[in-house]
Structure 1
């Protein structure tokens, strides 16, 4: 039998998309263990999807609409973006794909000057163009109504003309076995090309993407220089990163957690 608290959980997931167990416990004023117990019958009924440390409504475990995703785990995404912005210098060149965490990064870069930015995101382009002597190049093509981003062959062909200092993508899923993944073929193909165009290739993602398996693989960990997140990944994923030269950085900690081959 479902209780009022079950209804409160469903309401919170409907309003905010994916929500961590910690945030649910704080909002509801109960322990994390109580939340986990409450999620079990909801999952058994097919109403919610449980993942490592978080939950979402069934049917929303894939990519939610862009504006909703901008609200999901906003403090974590902002912390990640702030850390990455600190690794970028005035005058640097950057390539960014569309995504909520990269959009947060664009906002954290508003204090930088003379940036050269290549992107397929109209949100990122609007944020950084015409300020501080930046130069912004936007990939062409039909803009999607949800994210306002361009994809397809013309967008990919456009960005292959550039070589940048920092190539940075966000992602919808990180799987220990398959690597960085996405739910859309065109988005995955674009992100894969972005990673190839930078001296430094970086994936930025909050911890709720850990343990998810998307539809299309963007890249294995061996082809990524750095993964920046807000929490240390769980065991299997941490082991997979440890077997490569990918640097793992947890935003808010003093030092990068580096895993390299002997």
Structure 2
């Protein structure tokens, strides 16, 4: 496939992600190609389950929002989208990345087709399902299914992680109000997170601003363990809660 064709399709997909829905005629005008060419591009994107075509328009494929997560996918959608877009900037082609179970890391998944030759490691059933439709390699951790978060935990998952070298880990949390670090409600999930941190060259915490007002049961890390924390606009007082993180990114 010619490079200009690949670049155009990536740009089309990026535009659809940004706007959620675009008209075919507008795409043809913007990219200075025929509507037939745009339809061919969209057919390729649709075959990859990235977008959906409907009556002269193209829309983001929203199937990932319908996956059986106990996490509330309907909360803070726009904020999570902004965080995911900022997180994408840290991903290099040909790298090995870990995606933690959670709604914000799940939002990041739909941007991954814009990168090349990734190896994606996850213990999330939902993320594995989304990534399985992409051209990237998928390493899905085995183990015991934790039904609440639809994630794999336990000894088998830990043993697999021990053998993997991770370039960059994207992790979520259940909050960190007055805790000194990110927390989770699950003891087994805490052990997985700590293992991931020990195996990753770069660690990035993704959390929408609501997590500054919540806390879980178990603190699994210090803020100083993270290279970057990406969140939404927050107050001065909230920034003080995450002192120690090497870099604070506001999406």
Bin for the TM-score computed over the shorter chain: 0.5 to 0.7
Unaligned stretches of 5+ in structure 1? 1-64, 252-262
Is 2:246 the counterpart of 1:246? yes
Q: How far 1:131 moved relative to its partner?
A: 2.2
Q: Which residue in 2 is equivalent to 1:84?
A: 87
Q: Which residue in 1 is equivalent to 2:173?
A: 171
Q: How far 1:147 moved relative to its partner?
A: 3.5
User: Matches of 2:141 and 2:122 in 1, distance apart?
Assistant: 6
Q: Deviations over 1:175-234 (max 9, x none)?
A: 344211111111122122212221110110000010322100011111111110012255
User: Matches of 1:122 and 1:229 in 2, distance apart?
Assistant: 24
Q: How far 1:128 moved relative to its partner?
A: 1.6
Is 2:124 the counterpart of 1:121? yes
- Assess, with a 3 A threshold, how the Cα gap between structure 1 residues 240 and 147 changes in structure 2: closer, same or farther: closer
Confirm or deny: 8 A CA contact 1:175 1:181 kept in the other structure: no
Confirm or deny: 8 A CA contact 1:97 1:190 kept in the other structure: no
User: Matches of 1:66 and 1:131 in 2, distance apart?
Assistant: 20
Q: Which residue in 1 is equivalent to 2:14?
A: none
- Assess, with a 3 A threshold, how the Cα gap between structure 1 residues 250 and 149 changes in structure 2: closer, same or farther: same
The structure 1 residue matched to 2:114, chosen from 111, 115, 125, is 111
* Alignment of structure 1 residues 37-56 onto 2, 5 Å: none
User: Matches of 1:131 and 1:100 in 2, distance apart?
Assistant: 19
Number of residue pairs aligned between Structure 1 and Structure 2: 184
Q: How far 1:101 moved relative to its partner?
A: 0.7
SS at match of 2:145: coil
TM-score by length of 1: 0.65
User: Matches of 1:81 and 1:217 in 2, distance apart?
Assistant: 24
TM-score by length of 2: 0.68
- Assess, with a 3 A threshold, how the Cα gap between structure 1 residues 241 and 145 changes in structure 2: closer, same or farther: closer
Q: Which residue in 2 is equivalent to 1:207?
A: 209
Q: Deviations over 1:49-86 (max 9, x none)?
A: xxxxxxxxxxxxxxxx8355111111111110111012
Q: How far 1:104 moved relative to its partner?
A: 0.8
User: Matches of 1:219 and 1:148 in 2, distance apart?
Assistant: 22
* Alignment of structure 1 residues 1-262 onto 2, 5 Å: 66-67=69-70, 69-132=72-135, 134-235=136-237, 237-242=238-243, 244-251=244-251
- Assess, with a 3 A threshold, how the Cα gap between structure 1 residues 94 and 172 changes in structure 2: closer, same or farther: same
Q: How far 1:126 moved relative to its partner?
A: 1.8
User: Matches of 2:235 and 2:127 in 1, distance apart?
Assistant: 28
Q: Which residue in 1 is equivalent to 2:36?
A: none
